[in-house]
Structure 1
C-alpha cells in the first residue's frame, strides 16, 4: 500500500472551511484561527407564514499543535448562534473535539464531530437553503450527521492510477435510552468520481436502529458541474419531520445536480424522498428545490430558493421559499 492520503487531508480536517477562517497565530506549525459565518434573510410558505430567518449561523475556534514525529494535535469548538432572537439561548454547541493526525497512521477524533457516516451521506447536503433533512433526525445521538460523544478513526490509501481508498470507523457510548452505537464508512475516489458506503447500528430503548447507505458523486460543488445521489435503508430512524410514530422500515433518496458558472453563480436542483415501508403506509416526505447562490466575494454570498412539496401521506402540501445572504467571518 502506498502513502496515505492524510497529509493532503489535514488542512481541510483541521480548518473545516478554511475560506471562512481567519488565522490569528501561526508559529512553527502551531496555529490558532477564528471562523464561522452569519446569515439573515426571509422565508415563507403557502401557509402564509413569513419570517426573518438565519441558515445555521455559527462561530468557531480551531487550534493546532505540532507534536513532532509527524503527529499534529488539534482542537475545535463551534457554537451555533441564535443572534436573531433575544433571550438566554444565544449559543448552542455544534462541534467540540480533540483530534490527533499522522500522515501514515491516520486520524483519531474524540468529542462532538461530523461522523464518518456523514462522509458518505453528506455528498448531496451542499446547497445553503434546502438539502438532506432526513440525515438530521436525532443526528447527535444516532451519528448520521454531527455526533455527540463520539470516538472516530479515519485513514486512506493512494492506489496510484487506480484512485484512492479511505475509510472511517466510529463508536458512541451508552447514555440515557441509547445503547452503544457503532458505524463504518468507505469511500473510493478515482478522478472526479467517488463511490461511498456507510453503516450505523445500535439500540434505542431496546429497539434496534440501523442505517445502510450508498452514495455517488461527481465533481466539486461550487466548481463547474456537480452531481450526487444518496440512497439509504433505515430501521426505526425516520419519522415525519421528527414527529412520531417512527417508521420501523423506511427508505430515503436524495439527488442533487448543480452547476457553478465562471462568474460564481451556482444553480442547483435537488430531490428528496423518504418512504415509510411499514406495510406500504406511504410517503413521509417528498420535496424538490431550485436554488441559486452567488458569491459577490469569496466570503460574501447571496442565496434564493424555492422548495416544492411533492406530497406526503401525513400532512397537507406546503411549498416553501427563502432568500438572504451570508457573510463568512
Structure 2
C-alpha cells in the first residue's frame, strides 16, 4: 500500500519540472516512467521592425522513479526546450531541468542538478501569462551564465518538504565550471491560510545570495535577491501581488539594483474561457538603468483540458536604459519601449 501511495506521489513531484507529466509505465513495485511534451506556435509583432512573425517552440521531458523501499524512491527528470526565447543559439535544444534525486516521503526530497528552484513559489505569483516574460532576478545571469533568472541554475543541491500548510525549500548552488559559484544559496517559505468560505491566502518569502570565484564570467562578484508575495484564491478568482529586489556588486562601477513589483488577476469565466490582467514595474539604478512598465491583457480559450488558444496584448511604457556588454542582454525580443500582441496555440500531451 505504501509503495502504491509513493508511486502516486512521484508524478506530482515531477510537476516541478513540467506542467503535467503523464505516467506511461508502472512496474509491479510501483516504479514509474513519466513523459511530458508541449508544442506551440505563436504569432507576434514582438521584433525590431514591428512586422508579424511566427515562431514554433517545444518542450519535451522524460523522468520517473524507482522504488527503493516503502519510504524511499530514486527520482529523476530531464526536460529540454527548442526555439524558445531563452534557448542557447538559434533553434538549439537547451536544458530547462536536468536532475536526479531522492524522495524520502515525509522526510522530504533532495534533488541534484539543474532543478526547479523553490523561488518558483514566488515567481509563479506573477508568471501567469503566455505572452509576457518574467524579469524577476534578471541580473543573476551576470554571475551565473547557466541561470534562467533564479529559477534554474546548474549544479544545485536542493532540499524541499511540506509540513502541513507550510512549504519550504533550501538550496546550495555549486554552479558549473564556467560560472564558478562560491558560497551561493537560497531559501524559500510559503504558508497557505485556509480562510474557509473566504478562500485561501498564501504569503511567500524568498532569499538568494550568490558569490563568484576567479573563474567566473564576472570574478568576485556578489549578488543578492529577496522577494515577498501574496496569492489569494476565491473560487474562480486568483489575485497576486509581489515585490522583489536584487543587487549586484563587482560588475558595474557602482552597485546595480533592480526594484520591482507585480500585480496580477486571473478569472476563470467558465470551463472554456479564462481572462488575465497584470501590471509590472521594474526600475534599475546603478546598472543599465532599464525600466519595465508593462500592462498585460490576456484571454485563453480552452480547446481541451490541456490545449488552448491564447491572445494577449502587452502595453510597454519602459526604457531600455544603457545597453552594455556588462548588463543583461537587451534584444528586440525584450524591448521595454514597444507594445506587442501575441496569438498562440499550445498543445500538451
Q: Normalising by structure 1, report the TM-score.
A: 0.83
Specify which of 257, 271, 295 is matched with residue 265 of structure 2: 257
- Report which of the two has the higher share of strand: 1
Counterpart for residue 206 of structure 1: 220
Per-residue CA deviations over 1:12-62 (Å, capped at 9, x if unaligned) read 2124587743322012311112212000021104942321124x5200112
Is it true that 1:275 corresponds to 2:283 in the alignment? Answer: yes
Specify which of 190, 193, 217 is matched with residue 193 of structure 2: 190
CA contact (8 A) 2:137 2:149 kept: no
Counterpart for residue 305 of structure 1: 312
Q: Distance in 1 between matches of 2:274 and 2:255?
A: 35
Counterpart for residue 51 of structure 2: 49
In the TM superposition, what are the counterparts of 1:1-329 in structure 2 within 5 Å?
A: 10-16=10-16, 20-28=20-28, 29-45=30-46, 47-54=49-56, 57-82=58-83, 89-136=91-138, 138=141, 140-141=146-147, 144-158=150-164, 164-173=165-174, 175-180=177-182, 181-191=184-194, 192-204=200-212, 205-219=219-233, 224-236=236-248, 248-278=256-286, 284-312=291-319, 314=321, 317-329=337-349
Query: Displacement of 1:11 after TM fit?
Result: 3.6
Query: Displacement of 1:206 after TM fit?
Result: 1.2
Highest RCO, 1 vs 2 (Cα 8 Å, sep ≥ 6): 1
CA contact (8 A) 1:19 1:298 kept: no
Q: Where do 5+ consecutive residues of structure 2 fail to align?
A: 1-5, 195-199, 213-218, 322-334
Q: Distance in 2 between matches of 1:300 and 1:108?
A: 32
CA contact (8 A) 2:17 2:97 kept: no
Q: Normalising by structure 2, report the TM-score.
A: 0.79
Q: Where do 5+ consecutive residues of structure 1 fail to align?
A: 1-5, 159-163
